[in-house]
Structure 1
């Protein structure tokens, strides 16, 4: 501010100097006009002097501007640095406040008995979920084993049927082979018979042609010897035919016997081969059956051992889980009993403390009144002794007594004000403690809702009893679970009237104390009149109850 003022004053001074110079210049111009004839040298000198003066003025103005600009930049940098320092201090203050708030919140959450119980119950719900998953895995494993055994038996039955079908096909093929061999043998026999007949016919034809030629020759050459030669030729022909026929019959019989022997040997070989093959197949089948029986025996033994081991492991796991759950439930019941007993003891202690405090307050007030009267009398006596009232006359004595009374009243009032101030400080301390308790209660409720929102979806079917202790927990839990699930239909809510096993209602809609209601797994029909009235009701409380009931349907919860 001072630099700007100085700059303005300098400008004003310079402007005045400039005006004075202008006046002087005008005067000099007039003189120059008068003395124009004095020569041009003086005019040039004046121009140079004026140019030099203007240059000096411009230099001074630039120096002043640079100085003011530097001072303004310095002031701006100082202001920016101060603003940055204030901003950094404010951010550090907010960060420290947030850290302090987080530390207080963590300390309150770590020291809260309710949150510890809720975490234990959520842990119990996780244990229940893991146990349900283990039971489901056991059932799935049993089902897989059953399906595997069924598939194994089906595979073995299919192999047996395929083996029987293969044996049946082999028997059919053997029969067909025998039929083909028999047909081939019959065809060969028929073909040989046909060849024999054909050879016989050709032989007969040749013999007949030969006889005709001999007769012609004999008729031409020896007509005389025809009768003798004819008889002789006929006898020879008959003998030769008989010999050839006998030879043919012997050969045919030998061939027939040979064919029969070959066929018999072939049949014997086929029968022996079939018999050997049957024996081999029977032996292989017997060995295969023995192997299958041994495999089945080993498989049954292994399955029995595995089933026994699995059953023993499952029983041990179930016993372990049951024991763990019983221990958790016993511990939970013990803690609940201790908590209820502690609440009753705290309530009784608070009641006794309240009675003791009231008695102490009455005694204190009585003692204060007595002390006030005694102090008033002592002050009056002291003032009387100080002023020696008995030595004064009546009027002065009355005036002194009145003055003493006013002074005593002033002191008593001053002490009363001090007492009221102390009481006000006590009330402020109590209000601060109450606010701290409300803050602690709010932090604990927020942490409860956070835990319920975090674990509500995955553990909603496995929560133990009395996990949801208030209507706020129910609303938070229902809203959390209904966000991830399908909204139920209204008519599905009309056929059930149950409370969850893990919920106990402790307050009604008007925040009045109610006895704890345990779960009821029985389903009852809702009264139609009540149902119609609840559906058609325009009461906000009834609408809220209906909306909560609709959202709580996936949890198995229905509010009466």
Structure 2
């Protein structure tokens, strides 16, 4: 019995010792884990501090680089603006000088063309005067020749009719007085026939002239109608046709004035030659 009790006490003591050992090991393990956690926490904090420091340093570096880049961009922008301004000023000056030169050339060219036009006009007046004199002389000559031919025809016609009347009236069988009387009658009749013939020719000539004048008038009216239709079509489609009209459609400055400011500006010449180039047909 005593032995059993002693054995139970031993077992209890061993269990108590085992429990205390287990608690000691648990405490040691907990302390070790706590130490490891603190070490890890310290390491993580150090790493976080280092990361924050690196981030801050990188951010400061980027900000400095951005400021430097911004300063460089501003300097480059100012340089480009200054250079562009200088270029625009130079281009404007060149354009003004070019326009001035064009105006001077246009004025010189216009003056030269005016002199040439005046010379050609004077020469044309002389040629027209000479041509008029030549035509007048030719007309006079043709008129004289026509009158001579008509007179010859009348003389031939008169002789033919007189002979026919004499033959019809057997005038050779009459005595001298009756023959003279009959010849006078024949002469009056022949002159009357010639007068009637002249009047018919004159009337035919007048009708021919009237017919030609009528044809000319009809052609003029037709041309006027076509011109009015042309102007109506141009005005109706002016906006769509600007820039696409072939040469010759716009004939003169009046056409441009009828079509409006857009056409006047589009066809604005820089010289007399350019003006003629805009309106003349190829």
Larger Rg: 1
TM-score under structure 2 length normalisation: 0.45
Greater relative contact order, per chain length (Cα 8 Å cut-off, separation 6+)? 2
The two structures have a TM-score, normalised by structure 1, of 0.25
